[in-house]
Amino acid sequence: MTVADIPTINAALNATATVMITAGFLFIRSGRRDLHRAAMLSAGVVSAIFLVGYVGHKILVRGVHTPFGGEAPLLRAVYFTMLLTHILLAIAIAYLVPRTFWFALKGDYERHKRWARFTFPIWYYVSVTGVLVYFFLYHWWPAAPAS
């Protein structure tokens, strides 16, 4: 494994978190609280591993960012809008997810439910757009290699 493999691993972790968040949502909607808890805790663990990998990658590449190769103005606007909202909301979920988990873990399900109504869609958006950012940068519109 090389440093170049870390973004792919991180995207896979984000995709896994998305699946687990989706499952957790479906489980709680169908009243399966134990499965909901397991899915959401798994999503939290996977997201935490992602965060370690993301920060580790940034340290290893010394903060050098991967340029977006798309050139069409509308495409660039879509990408950078998605990236900006992804970053801002990722900062928010770094607080929202642990706080929402805390309420559930201490048995305060009413507060957990109130917080989860805000946390869930934000976490879901960040998770999905994280995978999309990866595909935009590394597969669909990679920057041309420096000559």
Q: Which residues neighbour 53 within 8 Å (Cβ) at sequence distance 6 or greater?
A: 6, 9, 10, 13
The residue type at 54 = Y
Residue 128 in domain: yes
Residue 45 in domain: yes
Residue 146 in domain: no
Tens digit of pLDDT per residue, the chain (147 long)?
888 899 999 999 999 999 999 999 999 999 999 999 999 999 999 999 999 999 999 999 887 788 899 999 999 999 999 999 999 999 999 999 999 999 999 999 999 999 999 999 999 999 999 999 999 999 999 988 765
Residue 145 in domain: no
Instruction: Print the domain residue range for 54.
Output: 3-140
Domains of the chain: total: 1
pLDDT digits 0-9 by tens, 71-82: 999 999 999 999
3-state helix, strand, coil in the chain (%, to 5): 80, 0, 15
User: How high is the mean pLDDT of the chain?
Assistant: 94
